[in-house]
Amino acid sequence: MVKRLLLAENVPCLNKGEETILQGMLESFNSLGDFQLSMLSTNPQLDKSRYGSKIKILDIRQYLLFFGDRGFKSRLSKIISSMIFLLNHIGFLCLFKLMGSKVFSLYRSPIWKEYIISDVIIIGHNGAFGIGGGPSIPVIGYPIFMSFFAKKMNKVSILYAGSIKDPKTLGILTRMAYRFALEHLDLITLRENISYERCIDLGVKNESIYVTSDLAFLMKPETDDRVYEIMAKEGLQESNMPLIGMTVTREKANIAYPYLDPDQSYNEHIRVLVNIIDEIISNTNALFVFLPHCIGPDPFRDDRLAAKDIYSRSSMKDHIILIETEYNAAELKGLIGKFDLFIGERIHSVINAMSMGVPVIALSNGADERLEIIRMFGQKNAIYPIEDLQSQPFVNKICDILVDSMDLREIMVAQLTETIHKSMLNGSLLNHLVTSQSE
């Protein structure tokens, strides 16, 4: 029998880290046997063109008001649309209990039928209870309400390889709501030890909480033939010079210096990176390759723009390559695997590098719970706080890693088997749950 799964969130295809997670998720679902995954989308045409027929794409905009190309234009429209969203779901729940399938004469969007035919509703897959969350649309209390809704629909509901937000940042009522939602889920798999500790801190009473690993480790890279084709197209040739890959983002640059306003922080961050890159090139004759691991949907999330700003200010342009073509997540992972070192401001670009045995430096703010994924992979020394980025210490770190490259690769390759096993455990636990529910 085909297992029907509904991912009640959006996985935007222009964010290749999200795509990496989605591809890993599909790999983990092989534990279920035959399955069909449906997914909410804020841009169904775009997602369908990238994800193809493997996933059934549902247009979430069909039951949200005030959502257009620019999203919510005011806090008031966000509140009104959230209330209508909640009332629509409560109305559907009540009428379905009374009318059965006749309710579809009133609720005609395909999403409502999907709720009925799905065996499992995935409430969160990445950061529903941590960073981001929900359908990438600001519906107030979305994961909390959906936990309640799924339970009342008698559906298996899960948090799948997700993260938990630091309870210390939450108010009393929000903490209570988080605890309520997490206690109503049938399965919680977490990708970091720290998220498990936060569940304990919240006082969550749920016997089905497990620490696994990030689904991104399961995505297979593109074939070598395709990767070499990409390298030829982008002007990358194998040589004796160190090949250093990098992702940079405006999101990180804007918060790199908390005492500055976002634009000033961005400019200072770019200035420091230019100094670092120019000195590394002078010392090692390295070639820097900037990969866009996210290219939209807006300029703020387009990595190519920050890379261009670095290139324009560098005095070593002949040793810098900007990749502007959109490649899928598997192609980027295969390409990353050819580097001698990878420096990433996007966590899942770093995870892709680690899973390919490439030494890494993760540039991120210390509050990001996903850094625990890197620590759990035995690479705690690869984490560099973006708030403390200084030219000479960072140059020294890069040089040290290049010297120790072979030892670091051996450590990561040895760690990979166990990590993949933990990632596949997400699917095994889900399969056990679904099987036990059907008996």
SS3 (DSSP) at 38:
strand
Structure tokens at 178: 């988080």
pLDDT value for 410: 94
Torsion-angle region of 136 (φ positive above 0: left; ψ -120 to 50: alpha; else: beta): left
pLDDT at 263 over 60: yes
Please give the order of strands across the beta sheet that includes 187-190: 55-59, 35-41, 3-10, 120-124, 156-162, 187-190, 209-211
pLDDT at 278 over 90: yes
* Cα 287 to chain centroid, rounded: 28
Q: Give the contacts of 411 (CB within 8 A, at least 6 positions apart).
A: 378
Kindly report, residue by residue over 324-345, the tens digit of the pLDDT: 999 999 999 999 999 999 999 9
Half-sphere exposure of 288 (CA within 13 A, CB side): 29
Torsion-angle region of 132 (φ positive above 0: left; ψ -120 to 50: alpha; else: beta): left
Question: Whole-model pTM above 0.75?
Answer: yes
CA atoms of 350 and 348, how far apart (whole Å): 5
Helix then strand then coil, in percent of the chain rounded to 5, is: 55, 15, 30
Q: What percent of the chain has pLDDT over 70?
A: 94
Do the Cβ atoms of 30 and 49 come closer than 8 Å?
A: no
pLDDT at 367 over 60: yes
| Long-range contacts, 403-406 (Cβ 8 Å, 24+) | 404/359, 405/340, 405/341, 405/359
Kindly report, residue by residue over 182-235, the tens digit of the pLDDT: 999 999 999 999 999 999 999 999 999 999 999 999 999 999 999 999 999 999
- Tallying the residues shown for the chain, one arrives at 439
Kindly report, residue by residue over 69-102, the tens digit of the pLDDT: 445 557 777 787 788 888 989 999 999 999 999 9
CA atoms of 146 and 192, how far apart (whole Å): 23
pLDDT value for 132: 46
Residue ranges and CATH numbers for the domains of the chain are 3-211 (3.40.50), 224-416 (3.40.50.2000)
Quick one: average pLDDT of 231-257?
94
Kindly report, residue by residue over 409-439, the tens digit of the pLDDT: 999 999 999 999 999 999 999 999 999 987 6
Kindly report, residue by residue over 131-179, the tens digit of the pLDDT: 445 555 667 788 888 999 999 999 999 999 999 988 888 889 989 999 9
CA distances from 254 to 245, 277, 395, 411 (A): 21, 19, 22, 34
CA distances from 44 to 19, 114, 134, 233 (A): 14, 16, 16, 30
pLDDT at 66 over 60: no
Kindly report, residue by residue over 391-402, the tens digit of the pLDDT: 999 999 999 999
pLDDT value for 128: 62
CA atoms of 130 and 369, how far apart (whole Å): 8
pLDDT value for 70: 45
Quick one: average pLDDT of 257-268?
96
